[in-house]
């Protein structure tokens, strides 16, 4: 295989996912153009770029969420631990457990806090006893930094929590099925600054345990939470590298113009 154009040189973190020459179309319209990128195991990777540049579209190719959009068509190769995620032997339900997703707007199920987290382990048959399930729920809520706030009201509705708590509940729900990668699509855009700070802190704590990819409009957030940054523009991956380099010494004029606020 040819060396991908945007691969990070000399990385020390093992590769979790790779994308090679990925194109995405909605009908005739091409939203992603020949994107090649590696997602590192131990790093948080941020996708930045102006509105409509394809960040979310590309993120959704990583767990085949675009399969749910009728007009969407994906070309190219994407692997998880070397396995082709678009291959005929890939079980999409399993894939989405391995590559979990957290959305822009917190979307807990209209069920109890406990049930929101227990749902995944239950449908994937991960717990053999009720005590097992209880342990998984507690562990996931602890990892999502929510346990102390909800441990006395696990049977209350998840939708009754504050927006920031709901988002941490959604992260606990993703964690509960023991994912390898967590995709976050602007997870803080509906949250206030305090709730945002908590999610950012959580991302720091989760790093290393899960490969994390986050789409964000907020460049300060990308600089704070990520070690790798990918800058997209008009469906192209313009530049990908260490976050510190991208923000202090970008190679491409388009990246520089974007991070200095000249457009976007
Ligand atoms: N379901 C869809 N059907 C048709 N076109 C779509 C669909 N979803 C996205 N697009 C188009 O694909 C392009 C990329 O959109 P996408 O949402 O991936 O960009 P983005 O960078 O995440 O934008 P934003 O930051 O505004 O969320 C845009 O031109 C958008 O209009």
CB 196 within 8 A of CB 227: no
Measured from the CB, is residue 237 less than 6 Å from ligand 1? Answer: no
Atom of ligand 1 nearest to the CA of 104: 27
CA of 147 to the centre of ligand 1 (A): 35
Length of the chain: 264
Atom of ligand 1 nearest to the CA of 235: 14
Chain segment 198-240, per-residue pLDDT in tens: 999 999 999 999 999 999 999 999 999 999 999 999 999 999 9
Residue 216 DSSP SS3: coil
State mean pLDDT over 2-7. 41
- Give the domain ranges of the chain: 15-83+90-260
| 88 class by beta-carbon count within 10 Å (0-12 exposed, 13-18 middle, 19+ buried) | exposed
CA of 240 to the centre of ligand 1 (A): 20
Atom of ligand 1 nearest to the CA of 69: 1
Mutate to test the pocket of ligand 1, among 53, 186, 233 (most ligand atoms within 8 A of CB): 53
Residue 185 DSSP SS3: strand
For residue 13, what pLDDT band results from cuts at 50, 70 and 90? confident
Q: Which CATH class is domain 15-83+90-260?
A: alpha beta
CA of 55 to the centre of ligand 1 (A): 8
Chain segment 77-133, per-residue pLDDT in tens: 999 999 999 999 999 999 999 999 999 999 999 999 999 999 999 999 999 999 999
Rg of the chain (C-alpha set): 18
Residue 11's pLDDT is: 59
- pLDDT over 60 (residue 4): no
Residue of 172, 200, 165, 173 lying closest to 186 (CA atoms): 200
Measured from the CB, is residue 31 less than 6 Å from ligand 1? Answer: yes
Whole-number average pLDDT of the chain = 93
Chain segment 168-193, per-residue pLDDT in tens: 999 999 999 999 999 999 999 999 99
Residue of 129, 137, 228 lying closest to 176 (CA atoms): 137
ipTM higher than the 0.90 cut: yes
What distance in Å separates the CA atoms of residue 55 and residue 166, rounded to the nearest whole number?
24
Task: Give the contacts of 238 (CB within 8 A, at least 6 positions apart).
Answer: 49, 231, 232, 252, 254, 255
């Amino acid at each position: 295989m040819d060396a991908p154009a945007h691969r990070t040189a000399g990385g020390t973190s093992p590769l979790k996912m790779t994308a090679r020459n990925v194109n995405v179309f909605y009908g005739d319209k091409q939203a992603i153009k020949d994107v090649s990128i590696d997602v590192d195991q131990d790093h948080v990777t941020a996708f930045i770029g102006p509105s409509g540049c394809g960040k979310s579209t590309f993120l959704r190719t990583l767990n085949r969420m675009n399969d749910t959009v009728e007009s969407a068509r994906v070309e190219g190769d994407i692997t998880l631990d070397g396995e082709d995620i678009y291959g005929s032997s890939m079980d999409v339900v399993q894939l989405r457990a391995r590559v979990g997703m957290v959305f822009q707007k917190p979307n807990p199920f209209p069920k109890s806090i406990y049930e929101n987290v227990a749902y995944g382990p239950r449908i994937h048959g991960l717990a053999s006893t009720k005590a097992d399930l209880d342990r998984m729920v507690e562990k996931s809520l602890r990892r999502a930094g929510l346990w102390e706030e909800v441990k006395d009201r696990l049977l209350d509705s998840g939708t009754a929590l504050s927006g920031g708590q709901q988002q941490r509940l959604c992260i606990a729900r993703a964690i509960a099925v023991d994912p390898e990668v967590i995709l976050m699509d602007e997870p803080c855009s509906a949250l206030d600054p305090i709730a945002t700070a908590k999610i950012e802190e959580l991302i720091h704590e989760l790093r290393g345990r899960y490969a994390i990819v986050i789409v964000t409009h907020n460049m300060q957030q990308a600089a704070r939470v990520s070690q790798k940054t990918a800058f997209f523009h008009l469906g192209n991956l313009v530049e990908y590298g260490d976050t510190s380099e991208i923000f202090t010494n970008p190679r491409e004029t388009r990246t520089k113009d974007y991070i200095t606020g000249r457009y976007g």
